[in-house]
Structure 1
Amino acid sequence: MKRFLFILVFNSILGIGQNQTDSIKAYSNQFESSFNEMKYDLALISANKLFSFAKQKNKSSVQDKAIIYKAKVYFKLKMFEQSISLIEGIIKKKYSTKEEITNFLEANNILANIHYSKYEDDKAIAKYIYIDSISESNNFTNDVQIRALQNIGLMMLRGYNPSNNKIYGKAKDYFKKSYELAKSSNSLTEMHVSGLYYGSTLVESENPDIETALKLYDDANKYFYENKLVKEFSDTYWAYASLYRKISRNDLATKYYKEFIEKSKTFNDDNALIRAYWAYASYLYQIKNHDEAIINYTAVVENIKNKKNVDYSIISNSYYYLSSIYKSRNENDLAYESLENYITYRDSLEQKNDNQLFNDLETKYQTEKKEQEIELLKTKNELSEKQKYIYIAIAGLLLISGLFLFYGYRNKIKTAQKLNKLNELKSRFFANISHEFRTPLTLIKSPVQQLQSNTTNEEQNKQLNLIDNNANRLLELVDQLLELSKIDNGKLQIILKKGNLKHFFQSIIEPFSFKAKEENQAFTFTTENLDFETHFDKDIFTKITSNLLDNAFKYNEQGKPIDFIAKKENQNLIIQVRNYNSQLKESDYKKLFERFYQKNNAISGFGIGLALVKDLVELYEGTIKTNFNNQQISFTVELPLNKNLANAIIIEEKGKTEIISDIISETNHNSELPILLVVDDNASIREVIKDIFATNYQILEATNGKEALKLAQKEIPDCIISDLIMPEMDGFEFSNQIKSNELTSFIPVILVTAKSSDDTHLKALQSTADVFLTKPFNHEVLKATVSQQIQERKKLQERYSQELILKPTEVVINSVDEKFIAKLETVLETAIPNSEFNAEIFAEEMHMSRMQLHRKLKSLFGVSATEFIRNERLKMAADLLKNDKLNISEIAYNVGFNDVGYFSKCFKEMYYLSPSDYQKK
Structure 2
Amino acid sequence: MKYRILTLFLLLSFIFYGQDQKKLDSLNQLVQQSKIDENWNALSEIYYSQAKSFYETEDYALALPLLLKIDSLSTTFGIKNSTSVLSILKRAEISKLTFTKESSQVSYSLGKQALKQAEEINSQEIIHSIYVKLADYCQLTKRYDEAKLYVDKGLKYYIDKNNGDEDKISRLYLIESAYYLEQNNPEKGEESRYKAVLYLEGKGNDLAMAKAKYYYGHYLRYDKKEYKKALIFLEDSKKLFQKTNNIEGDVFHRCLRDLAICYDALGNYKNSSNYYKDAYKLKIELNKKANRTVSRNLETQYETEKKKREIELLKSKNEIVEQQKKNQRNILLSAVGFTSITGLFLFFMFRNRQKTNTKLKELDDFKSKLFANISHEFRTPLTLISGPIDKRLHTLDLSEEDKNDFEMIQRNSNRLLNLVDQLLDLSKLESGHLKLKVAEGNLSVLLKSMASAFQHKALQKQIDYSINIEEIDKVWFDKDVIEKTVINLLSNAFKYTPEKGNIKYFAAVIGNKLELYVENDSNVLTKEQINNIFNRFYQADENTEGVGIGLSLVKEIVNLSYGSITVDNTSANTIVFKVYLPILKSQFKPEDLTETSIEIPVIEQKEFIVEKEKEQQPAIDENLPILLVVDDSEDIRAFIKSAFKNNYQVVEASDGEIGVEKAIALVPDIIVSDVMMPKLNGFQLSETLKKDERTCHIPIILLTAKTEDADRFIGLETGADDYITKPFKIKALETRVKNLISSRLKLRERYSQELILKPTDITISNFDAQFLEKVNTVIDKNIAEPSFSAEDFSKAVGMSRMQLHRKLKALTGLSATEFVRSQRLKLAADLLKKSDANVSEIGYAVGFNDHSYFAKCFKEMYGCSPSEFISKL
Q: How high is the TM-score relative to the length of structure 2? A: 0.33
Q: How high is the TM-score relative to the length of structure 1? A: 0.31
